[in-house]
Structure 1
Amino acid sequence: MKIFKAADYKRMPWKNGGGETAEIAVFPKDASLADFKWRISMATVASDGPFSSFADIDRTLTILSGEGMELEIAGERLALTHASKPHHFPADVATSAKLLGGTVIDLNVMTRRTRWTHRVERLRLPFTGRRNEATEFIFCVSGQVTVETETGRYELDTFDGAAIPLESTLLSVSGSGSALRIEIQTLTSPI
């Protein structure tokens, strides 16, 4: 199992220069913002403003900390908070955010829609399930969680992640914290 520690994430400016992002995982390895196939990152949002646009990309945004934000996506508004389900939307439509009460940290999962798809869900702990054929990650939102497969048992602290090995068939997540499950899958035929 590959473990991603929060202290080791690659930090870089947003595509539009409006803030900073911490890259957790990207495919292919070392891909740029222009040519990734999929990407998982965290952003610290300290002020209102527009989102960066990514052509042909689908995005899911999850609030990790802070009160949340009001998103305006192609003229439609919705409030996204720590209690909200992860929100999926196209990253190439006009999107802006208004903070609901101070700085927010969010998780972004993005996939190139012509070849990839993804799903992000909040887990109810303890969780036990079968591993899918997708590329899978467990991300610790808060506290500490334990991830266990046939290949081992690993402790994750807040904002750490784990890539679940392809050879694993069973997955168990427990602990005092909260976690997200991220699945990234290749489309069987291009769109």
Structure 2
Amino acid sequence: MRVIRASEHRRMPWKNGGGETTEIAISPAGATTGDFDWRLSMARVESGGPFSMFPGIDRTLAVLDGDGLLLTIEGMEPAALTSRSEPLAFPGDAPTSAELIGGAVTDLNIMTRRGKLAHSMRRLRVAAGSTALSTDGSEVLLFCHEGQARIVTGSKSADLGALDTLHLTETPGHLLIEADDAVLFVISLKRTA
């Protein structure tokens, strides 16, 4: 169990030079955008244009704030992605471009190396009280987008504030999330090879 605080995030230019990304976590430690197994990041998108290409990578994107993006992904129907829609999975090596629906947006992005890992991402709102969460991944990342939450697993617990992330390398099959009003993203990572 490791808490990654918002203050630990690393900022760097996009692979295609078109903007800036905020890297939350990457595996293995010290990996680059060319040799990671998985990578969790946020990006501020201030204008439309092409996405960076990531050969051999699967990715899922969610809009955190702003009016949203209209994505054009080769081989898929155009998709409008907003802060209310479900995260969208697509191949990182498919030519992809985005147009802003309104103003700038901030997005959350998980990428995994195809053939090594598979992932899923979902948005979870926790109202007053606690929510039980079943986990089926060998690793789980819990990104707290809004509010504050306490994550309880067995005899351990961790407190998350906005933009903090909890990284669990082994999951017991279920977690308890306690919050007054929080929005989290639950990302499961499973080894495939």
TM-score interval, smaller chain: over 0.9
Calculate the TM-score normalised by the size of structure 1.
0.92
Confirm whether residue 177 of structure 1 aligns to residue 178 of structure 2: no
Whole-angstrom distance in 2 between the partners of 1:47 and 1:129 = 36
Map of 2:100 onto structure 1: 99
Shift of residue 141, structure 1, vs aligned partner: 1.4
Shift of residue 124, structure 1, vs aligned partner: 4.0
| Aligned residues between the structures | 188
Contact 2:5-2:163 at 8 Å conserved across structures: yes
Shift of residue 165, structure 1, vs aligned partner: 4.7
Q: How does 1:1-191 map to 2 (within 5 A)?
A: 1-74=1-74, 76-125=77-126, 126-166=130-170, 168-175=172-179, 176-187=181-192, 189=193
Whole-angstrom distance in 2 between the partners of 1:93 and 1:46 = 22
Whole-angstrom distance in 2 between the partners of 1:51 and 1:10 = 20
In structure 2, relative to structure 1, the CA distance for the partners of 1:133 and 1:78 (3 Å cut) is closer
Whole-angstrom distance in 2 between the partners of 1:155 and 1:23 = 21
Alignment partner of 1:123: what SS? strand
1:14-64 Cα shifts (integer Å, max 9, x gaps): 000011111111111110111111111111111111100000100000111
Contact 1:149-1:169 at 8 Å conserved across structures: no
1:85-126 Cα shifts (integer Å, max 9, x gaps): 010000101101111111111111001112110000112424
Whole-angstrom distance in 2 between the partners of 1:177 and 1:98 = 29
Whole-angstrom distance in 1 between the partners of 2:155 and 2:17 = 41
Alignment partner of 1:7: what SS? helix
Moved more, 169-178 or 103-112: 169-178
Question: After the TM superposition, which parts of structure 1 deviate over 6 Å for at least 4 consecutive aligned residues?
Answer: none
Contact 2:135-2:188 at 8 Å conserved across structures: no
C-alpha root-mean-square deviation of aligned residues, in Å?
Answer: 1.5
Q: Identity of paired residues, percent?
A: 42
Contact 1:53-1:94 at 8 Å conserved across structures: yes
Q: Amino acid of the residue matched to residue 106 of structure 1?
A: D
In structure 2, relative to structure 1, the CA distance for the partners of 1:165 and 1:112 (3 Å cut) is closer
Calculate the TM-score normalised by the size of structure 2.
0.91
Q: Which runs of 5+ in 1 are unaligned?
A: none
Whole-angstrom distance in 2 between the partners of 1:39 and 1:135 = 13
In structure 2, relative to structure 1, the CA distance for the partners of 1:151 and 1:15 (3 Å cut) is farther
Alignment partner of 2:78: what SS? strand
Contact 2:137-2:171 at 8 Å conserved across structures: no
Shift of residue 179, structure 1, vs aligned partner: 0.6
